[in-house]
Chain A
Amino acid sequence: MHQQLLAQSPLLILPIVALFLFATVFVAVALRAFLTAQPVLDAMASLPLADEGEARHDA
Chain B
Amino acid sequence: MTTESATLPAEKGSATETVVYNDSISRWFVGASVIWGIVGMLVGVIVALQMAFWQANISPFLTFGRLRPLHTNAVIFAFVGNMVFAGIYYSTQRLVKARLPSDMLVKAHFWLWQAIIVSAAITLPLGITQGKEYAELEWPIDLAIAVTWVIFAINFFWTLAVRREKHLYVALWFYISAILTVAVLHIVNSMAIPFSPFKSYSIYGGAKDALVQWWYGHNAVAFFLTTPVLGIMYYYMPKAANRPVYSYRLSVIHFWALIFLYIWAGPHHLLNTALPDWAQSLGMVFSVMLWAPSWGGMINGLLTLRGAWSTLRTDPVIKFFAAGVTFYGMSTFEGPLLSIKGVNALAHYSDWIIAHVHAGALGWNGFMAAGMFYWMVPRLFGTQLWSKKMADAHFWLGTFGILLYVGAMWTSGITQGLMWRATDAQGALVYPNWVETINAIRPMYWMRLIGGAAYLVGMIMMAYNLGKTALAGKPVDGRIEVPVAAPKEAEASWASLVFGKPVIFSVVTFGLATAFAVSSMIAGVAFACLTLAVGIFGVLAVRATGGGEGAWHRLLEGRALLFTVLTLLAVLIGGVAELVPTLLIKPVESADARPYRALELEGRDLYIREGCYNCHSQMVRPFRWEQQRFGEPSNMVDSQFDHPFQWGSKRTGPDLAHLGSKYPNVWHYQHMSDPRAVSPGSNMPPYAGMTRSTLDFAHTEDKLRAMRAVGVPYNEKDIAGAVDDARAQGKAIVADLKTAGVDVPADAEIVALIAYLQRLGAAAPAGATPPTTVSMAK
Contact = CB atoms under 8 A, between A and B. Distances in A.
Interface of A: 2, 5, 8-9, 11-18, 20-37, 40-42, 44-51, 53-59
B95 A47 contact: yes
Contacts of A21: 510, 514, 573
Kindly state the interface size class of chain B when it binds its partner.
35 or more
A46 B244 contact: yes
A14 B384 contact: no
A2 to B, nearest CB: 7
Contact of A20 (B242, B385, B510): B510
Given A9-B581, A32-B542, A59-B378, A40 B551 contact: yes
A31 B91 CA distance: 29
Classify the secondary structure of B's interface with A.
helix
A18 B710 CA distance: 29
Nearest to A24: B510
Contacts of A2: 517-518
Interface stretch (B193-201, B353-361, B477-485, B762-770): B477-485
Interface of B: 91, 94-95, 97, 165, 167, 169-171, 234-235, 238-240, 242-245, 248-250, 252-253, 256-257, 260-261, 276, 278, 282, 315-317, 374-375, 378-379, 382-385, 388, 476, 478-481, 502, 505-506, 509-510, 513-514, 517-518, 535, 538-539, 542-543, 547-549, 551-554, 570, 573-574, 576-578, 580-581, 584-585
A44 B167 contact: yes
Given A40-B548, A44-B169, A48-B244, A18 B574 contact: yes
Interface centre among B238, B382, B388 (most CB of A within 10 A): B238
B235 A32 contact: no
Contacts of A37: 547-548, 551
Nearest to B255: A29
Contact of A32 (B165, B479, B553): B553
Contacts of B552: 32
Contacts of A28: 502, 505-506, 509, 538
Contact of A54 (B171, B315, B316, B478): B478
Contacts of A36: 249, 547-548, 551, 553-554
Contact of B256 (A9, A29, A48): A29
Contact of B577 (A14, A51, A53): A14
Given A25-B506, A27-B535, A53-B480, A47 B167 contact: yes
B581 A31 contact: no
A20 B517 contact: yes
Contacts of A55: 382, 476, 478
B509 A24 contact: yes
A59 B648 CA distance: 45
Nearest to B245: A45
Contacts of B506: 24-25, 28
B276 to A, nearest CB: 8
Nearest to B304: A45
Given A16-B518, A36-B551, 16 more contacts: A8-B278, A9-B585, A15-B577, A20-B517, A22-B261, A23-B513, A26-B260, A32-B553, A33-B253, A47-B165, A48-B234, A48-B238, A54-B478, A55-B478, A56-B379, A59-B385
Which 7 pairs of residues, A with B, have the shortest CB-CB distance? A18-B577, A45-B244, A24-B510, A11-B581, A45-B248, A35-B547, A14-B577
Contact of A57 (B170, B383, B573): B383
B576 A14 contact: yes
A53 B94 CA distance: 11
A30 B385 contact: no
Contacts of B261: 22
B252 A33 contact: yes
A17 to B, nearest CB: 6
Contacts of A53: 480-481
8 contacts: A2-B518, A20-B517, A29-B252, A29-B257, A30-B253, A36-B548, A47-B167, A48-B169
A31 B535 CA distance: 10
Nearest to B377: A59
Given A25-B260, A41-B249, A54-B480, A49 B242 contact: yes
Considering residues A29, A45, A46, which has the most beta carbons from chain B within 10 angstroms of its beta carbon? A45
B529 to A, nearest CB: 16
B317 A42 contact: no
Nearest to B570: A25
A48 B165 CA distance: 11
B238 A14 contact: no
Nearest to A17: B514
A50 to B, nearest CB: 8
A33 B557 CA distance: 13
Contacts of A34: 249
